Structure 1
Amino acid sequence: MIADVDQCASGPCKGHNSVCSDLIGGYRCDCPIGYNGDGDNYCYDGHPCPDEQNVCSKNAICGYNFIQQRLECSCNKGYVGDGLSCVDVNECAAEKDYDCHPNAECVNTEGSYFCSCKPGYKGDGEYECKEIKACDSSPCRGRNAVCGETDGAGFTCSCPTGFHGDGVNSCNDGVSCPNGTNVCSKDATCQYNTERGPHCVCKQGYIGDGITCKSIKTSKLDLKPTPKQQRPMSSHHKRKITYTSSHVITIDQ
């Protein structure tokens, strides 16, 4: 009886990645799972050619042409050539090759392009390019301030009706100080005028600088006559001491 010879021992399958199966009196070449080809001459996985065969451009891929039954190089998208040499396509050269917003410009890149909004506009360049307006950056810092557009991409800041200020830095309603600056006494209100701006004023019946306010009654008690003022006086030298809310003492003789 003649012993069977391992037909795969000589490596008859020439396809890269081919798998040889020894059969009785012969062999079979197959491609492994995930690969395509006849097994005898090639097994291709859809990725670049084997290193020893990959003569394609760095901007190309190696694929199998089933019609011509051979491997061939094809330039990647964004490039043109025979696959061995591939050059960049300037998509911006022809309007039909790019899709940008009407207010955007096409910028060519290696193998591709991108859209950039024209000066004076903002957006993604492809779907949106909105006109940039001066008030978009909220230049009026005053609380309650109103920004208005002017010609030449300018703007103005103003306070709404019932508010006072320069509009740029402040708009005060004349009753309460802006948040974060109300240091007035609980017995004072914050008022506004063009000379001083927001400032504290003690309520009626109180005196002080607005930050500290004391009751007029309490202030009178604090201003008791000195012992010298309490000495007996003759009837024709009697004096009347009057205390006012401004701490001014009026003496009638």
Structure 2
Amino acid sequence: MLLSETVSLLFCLILVLAAGSGSTREHKDLCSTCRQIVDNFNKGFERTANKNFGGGNTAWEERKLSKYETSEIRLVEILEGLCDSGSFECNHMVEEHEEHFETWWFKRKTKHPDLLKWFCIETIKVCCPKGTFGPDCNTCVGGAERPCHGNGRCDGDGTRGGDGKCSCDDGYEGDFCLDCAERFYNEERNDTFSLCKECYPSCTKCSGGTAQDCEECRDGWEEDQEGTCVDIDECSSDPFPCKEKEYCLNNDGSYSCSVCDSRCSGCKGPGPGNCLACSEGYKDEEGTCTDVDECELPDKVCTEEHQECVNTKGSYKCLCESGFQEQDGVCVPQPETEESEEEPASDTEDSPTTDKVTEREDL
């Protein structure tokens, strides 16, 4: 029985927390919708500023009815453009509070020209003034003029939702966003103001903005005899940090490994000019590894009868001469094809030939 009651209690707690989260989102969404409606109202007000009734006797209409600029006709034209047809939240809010727009238009506009304040904040109460939050529009930490002391965002700011907690900007931390985060230092600080600036790249903690102001070095840096955090050259360390046939590139606070050029057998940098030795099939010519043309060597590399040599990058191929094809490792004459009257025998691009005897690839 005790276990059952505990489970029920936890379930109820989860429901309460979920409901509270949903309520916060709902408050924020309602305020956002209301602000958009007011923004569209103001745009409609500007759009209709130079219009009139459009009839044949505007002067008579304004004298007998009212001026267009303060007429119900103009109000209706503005209201019709407040929401997109597919926006349920917007259309529902306008329909639900249409009488408030009429009240403001005919009775409150002169005394309360700020529609956002009168409608969203004071009348239907879905928003709060900037710098305040929650159902009662409580003031954010740091004051309404500088929420979170100007170094962060107050949760629920300007809405009837949120809890007022600060989400600090980059470089700041703490409940009041007055403390400097790691790798930042205070250039100015008092009870209500804090200016944090970034440390020198080699510092984890610092008292100023130079390399000499480091209090603790970042990974990949070390303190020299003068107390300055300097870069560690990992590429000169023992054992070598990269794999075989890779070269090391040192950078600030770290290093990277890249694959050597295929012409190299070990290297100290990119390209064939940084080889420590040349790969098989290549030779050193004035400090650069270049391809060896095996077909031009004094000793023939293709020794079978009716073979010819074709040079490739780092190697060569032995192919059968024209008119011969490879068969069981040797070059034999190609079989003669029967000629027909309609199609005389000839060599074409579509004629299948196989002339490869041996292929040697040195990797």
Common fold: TM-score over 0.5 = no
Larger fraction in helix:
2
Instruction: Give the TM-score category using the shorter length.
Output: 0.3 to 0.5
